[in-house]
Amino acid sequence: MGDDDEKPLDPAAERVRRRLVRLLIVSFGTMVLGFVAVFGAIVYKLGLFGAPAGTGPSVAEVRLPAGATVTSAALDGDNILLRISGEARGDGQEGRGEELLVLDAASGEILHRVKLLPGG
């Protein structure tokens, strides 16, 4: 007897065979999707996708008020804290005093401004 001489399966056995083939296809597809998800997570964690376009240093400009000087600076993550003091005005009035500026390090945008006033 050769392969060409096989008799067809009875209908009940054919239904079972079809169910098993469908189960095999679904299981294989689920396994492939799982592998794709795992490898995608590994590639994402390695940072191969979404890497910044420029690798050079960023440049941001900050405009200080006229006559102001930076007396100290501190860096905290993505924020910069500048302590600035203003010069005394020539018209006999008080100077600007001191201020604290919290800046975004990437853009140079002023996030917070705190004026330091003398106590009284």
* CA–CA distance, 114 with 120 (Å, rounded to integer): 18
pLDDT of residue 16: 93
| pLDDT band at residue 115 under the 50/70/90 scheme | confident
Identify the CA nearest to 103 among candidates 70, 54, 66. Answer: 70
Angle among Cα 20, 24, 29 to the nearest 5 degrees reads 150
pLDDT of residue 95: 55
Average pLDDT over residues 29-35: 98
Angle among Cα 68, 71, 75 to the nearest 5 degrees reads 115
**Domain boundaries defined on the chain:** 10-50, 68-115
Average pLDDT over residues 86-112: 73
Specify which residues 79 forms β-bridges with. 76, 104
pLDDT tens digits, 38-88: 999 998 888 776 655 556 677 778 888 788 888 999 988 889 999 998 764
